[in-house]
Structure 1
Amino acid sequence: MSETGRDEPYPPVTEHLDDPEAAAEEGRRKMEWALQHMPILTELRAEFESERPLDGQTVGMAMHVEAKTANLVELLAVGGADVAITGCNPLSTHDDVSAALDANDSVTSYAVRGVDDDDYYAAIESVIGHEPTITVDDGMDMVAAIHEEYPELIDSILGGCEETTTGVHRLRAMDDDGALEYPVFAVNDTPMKRLFDNVHGTGEASLATIAMTTNLSWAGKDVVVAGYGYCGKGVAGKAAGQNANVIVCEVDPRKALEAHMEGYDVMPMAEAAEVGDVFLTTTGNRDVITEEHFEKMGDGVLLANAGHFDVEINLEQLDEMAADRYEARDGVEAYEMDDGRRLNVLAEGRLVNLAAPIALGHPAEVMDQSFGVQAVCVRELVENDAEYDAGVYDVPDELDREVAEIKLDAEGVGFDGLSEEQREYMGSWQHGT
């Protein structure tokens, strides 16, 4: 019996679908559309297929299983790896894409949309059952499960990659405690990820999903952005660009000052709760919006989360306060208070740009960059695993630059380089005025 109490391993996605072949055909169509707009993965695919740098490796993944991710999965597969994947969020999986992946002889997909907590973790166990030599995570759930429940596998794991802010925070805490026992690249923290995926991807995808889900405009609304990291900056900037009035809530005085000097109103959440029309959390922390804030909010507010886990808005407290709760629109749940106010929660408080019913995630061009970094980091772990002891590592700068150069070349954009004299000047401490 498994750690979750199941007598049998959690089955692949095709056993959950009525017509897996039709689903796979539709998923393949989505993947091919995305790949047209992913020149980095296209170029790396040619390289990986020719050189097969991942021969003999097994990659275990817990990611958002949708079209862009699927193209990363198949890139690793054509590079020689056997890949097992499941979702990293119960509502972000596209079942048709998952079915398309499972139809690939080198890939097994356990990702199914809408699973409960037990099946979510059982699917992770099924991926781990493939005994991965490399892990690729979005939120660190797989790394945690391996360390807590399957430590006997650690000696055979070369390393891992972590995609998102929340996962990197968890990994660094684990590393600080001396509990992380294999090397992991903090893909989230490298410039080719955080400057584009976190800023443009989160900003554009979150706002677009909210607008499509609600059929409401941003213009003239008071939009409260909780957190002013890279994701919060992206949301704030994109909302301001659509003529919203942006309010930033922060706990770090430097980030609060930065938001203030960039022209946004900055105030505590207790004050913002009284004036906000839309609240969007981007902190990666829990209990950002709680009972004391719900009590002050006006009728019709929208509550959404662009952080990883569904803990930023305290829905248990909101549910206890509500006199009634009902589906106002597909993907929008209204919590009606005793005084008649309605507080509307999008996508069950989960990652709104992936978990809402019509959500498509970040734009393909943006995820091309993040997944390009993932691919070259997996290649690095295989080719140079002896160089990395247990711990969290920044992505090597030359790998980040490699991905940037592929993107610029695909866009037809030229850029300058340093001369030898300039390199020598920048590398010397002896040059004065």
Structure 2
Amino acid sequence: MKEKDYAVKDIKLAKQGQERIEWARRHMPVLGKIKEEFEKAKPLKGVNVIACLHVTVETANLIEALIAGGANVALTASNPLSTQDDVAAALAKKGVKVYAIRGEDEKQYYENIESALKIKPNITLDDGADVIATVHSKHKEYLKSIYGGCEETTTGVIRLRAMAKDKALKYPVVAVNDAETKMMFDNRYGTGQSTLHGIINATNVLLAGKTVVVVGYGWCGRGCASRAKGMGSNVVVVEINARKALEAAMDGFQVMDMKEAAKVGDIFITVTGDIAVIRGEHFKLMKDQAIVCNSGHFNVELALDELKKMSKSVTTVKADVDEYLLKGGNRIYVLGEGRLVNLACAFGHPPEVMDMSFANQALCVKYIAENHKKLKNDVYKVPEEIDTRVAEMKLESMGIKLEKLTKEQEKYLSSWSMGT
């Protein structure tokens, strides 16, 4: 491979990255089985795929499954701090077009997307909709060759549904994020565990006895709240949705608005997919040495520009921990520059949950390749048969058997005349 065909930090990291990729593979049996099927059937032969995803060991296994299916793949990072440089090197060494370097600035980030787009994609995979946004705003010439795309984040799906509503979406997209075998497990158990891992990894703070404020009670918020509770924290939930707030209260958590929560929290986690949910008015109410982090896709959830204006100084006190010294003397610690704390400060989701998420991705890429002519320019749910198949394959890999209905039970459930 020519050097111009990739942009990674250090190709010499490839051996270390390959070892880690293989370790993750052992914990991703569903994706492994799909890869075997793809190798035999080649359902993606000649299909060009651009993947704008977190460049991790789990993602590497997805990329290898797509290539096994016959796809030509270009990979770029979906977040400047989520790339694992050894993984990028390992994939580049194998001939994959990889454009991802941990810590790249915004200019390099978008240059890497531009480089990956040169593959002239038929299918796009997004983690935050940046490729879709770039194609629609800057490279409409690629639209005629694109069959469709997949989106794997709540944030991205929100953006795409807004585009579809405004008739601005120019090709069909499958909302992989909304598959039950993704959302209920990846978002809840993956984000919950990896977010706390990121906080602990960056700070080594004791969670027991601390008040943890979780802003947003979707599946990611539920996961963060339940994991923090399990570590002995007092958990406060901030919500705008009445039903979710009620659910959080029934789950045993205190529910407050952001101003009240700002006064009592020791650790703050945002998981909303919205902009500026913690603002200057909240930062000024926080305790000295409050820890603030974000586990939503983009760092816009924290109004860091407002925090900076309120501060006398900003100092990096240790890796991934910035101290904002407020003019009143209080200190606020921001983790991972406000970017995804579970990837900026830790390893991201465990492979066991990404196994299901990326199984959905792989099967949805196949679905788009085979069905794109029937699809309109809209956001689609993952077909139920794919979602169900992933669940069944995961259960099988865990050695768990399902109960089956008897004929009498089937008749009872489908009848209105049998009575009680």
Query: CA 1:232–1:11 in structure 2 vs 1: closer, same or farther (change >3 Å)?
Result: farther
Secondary structure (helix, strand or coil) at the match of 2:150 reads strand
- Contact map agreement 2:272 2:296 (CA 8 A) in 1: yes
| 2:172 equivalent to 1:183 | yes
Indicate yes or no: 2:297 matched with 1:304. no
**SS of equivalent residue, structure 1 residue 412:** coil
Residue aligning to 2:369: 382
Read off the aligned partner of 2:284 and give its amino acid letter.
E
The whole-number CA distance in structure 2 between the counterparts of 1:383 and 1:423 is: 33
Deviations along 1:239-279, whole A, 9 cap, x unmatched?
00111000000011111111111110000110011110000
Q: In the alignment, what sits opposite 2:218? A: 229
* CA distance in 2: counterparts of 1:270 and 1:387, whole angstroms: 49
Q: Which residue of 2 aligns with 1:98?
A: 88
Name the structure 2 match of 1:410.
397
Separation in 2, partners of 1:114, 1:360: 15
> Which residue of structure 2 lines up, in the alignment, with residue 271 of structure 1?
260
Question: 2:14 — aligned with what?
Answer: 24
> Residue 44 of structure 2 corresponds to which residue in structure 1?
54
1:325–1:333 Cα contact (<8 Å) kept: yes
- Structure 1 gap ranges (5+): 1-9
SS for the counterpart of 1:360 is coil
For the 8 Å contact 1:180–1:390, the answer to whether it is kept is: yes
Q: 2:97 aligns with which of 102, 108, 117?
A: 108
Which of 262, 268, 276 aligns to 1:287? It is: 276
The correspondence for 1:319, drawn from 291, 302, 308, is: 308
How big is each residue's C-alpha offset from its partner over 1:320-340, in whole Å with a ceiling of 9 and x where there is no partner?
111111112211000011222
Equivalent of 1:153, from 138, 142, 151? Answer: 142
Q: 1:248 aligns with which of 237, 243, 255?
A: 237
Question: Aligned partners of 1:117, 1:245: CA distance in 2, in Å?
Answer: 37
Is the Cα–Cα contact under 8 Å of residues 54 and 127 in structure 2 kept in the other structure?
yes
C-alpha deviations, 1:276-309, integer Å up to 9, x for none?
0000000010111011111111111100000000
Q: Secondary structure of 1:237's partner?
A: helix
User: Is the Cα–Cα contact under 8 Å of residues 290 and 332 in structure 2 kept in the other structure?
Assistant: yes
Residues of 1 paired with 2:413 and 2:120: CA distance? 46
Contact 1:56 1:81 in 2 (8 A): yes
Q: Measure how far apart 1:152 and its partner are.
A: 2.3
Q: In 2, distance between residues paired with 1:110 and 1:97?
A: 12
Question: Is 2:76 the counterpart of 1:86?
Answer: yes
Match of 1:77 among 67, 75, 87: 67
Tell me if structure 2 keeps the 8 A contact 1:13–1:112: no
Report the Cα distance in structure 2 between the residues aligned to 1:133 and 1:121, rounded to whole angstroms.
20
Contact 1:13–1:98 (CA under 8 A) maintained in structure 2: no
Percentage of matched positions with identical amino acids: 50
Q: State the AA in 1 paired with 2:230.
A: G
The amino acid across from 2:174 in the alignment is F
Secondary structure of 1:55 counterpart: coil
Greater displacement, 141-150 / 190-199? 141-150
- Please state how far the C-alpha of 1:429 moved relative to its aligned partner: 6.2
Shift, 1:116, TM fit: 1.1
Q: Report the Cα offset of residue 225 of structure 1.
A: 0.3
How far is the alpha carbon of 1:156 from its aligned partner? 1.7
One-letter code aligned to 2:300: V
Q: Which amino acid aligns with 2:294?
A: N
Asked if the contact 2:198–2:344 (Cα under 8 Å) also holds between the matched residues in 1, the reply is: no
| TM-score, L = length of structure 1 | 0.94
Cα distance per residue 1:130-184 (max 9 Å; x no partner): 1110011000000111111222222221111101100000010010000111111
1:129 is matched with 118
Q: SS state of the match for residue 274, structure 1?
A: helix
> Residue 207 of structure 2 is aligned with which of 210, 218, 222?
218
1:58 maps to a residue whose letter is N
Q: Which residue of 2 aligns with 1:366?
A: 353
**SS where residue 343 of structure 1 aligns?**
strand
The partner residue of 2:183 within 194, 198, 218 is 194
DSSP 3-state at the match of 1:234: helix
- The 3 A distance-change label for structure 1 pair 429 and 142 is farther
Work out whether residues 150 and 361 of structure 2, in 8 Å CA contact, stay in contact via their aligned partners in 1: yes
**Partners in 2 of 1:404 and 1:236 — Cα distance?**
25
Aligned equivalent of 1:68, options 58, 62, 68? 58
Larger mean CA deviation between 117-126 and 415-424 belongs to: 415-424
Contact 1:12 / 1:111 at 8 angstroms: preserved in 2? no
Counterpart secondary structure, 2:263: coil
Distance in 2 (CA, whole Å) between partners of 1:109 and 1:73 is 11
RMSD: 1.5
* Distance across 1 between alignment mates of 2:75 and 2:203: 32
Residue 345 of structure 1: CA displacement? 0.1
Match of 1:329 among 318, 327, 345: 318
Shift in Å, 1:355: 1.3
197, 202, 205: which is aligned to 2:194? 205
1:33 aligns with 2:23: yes
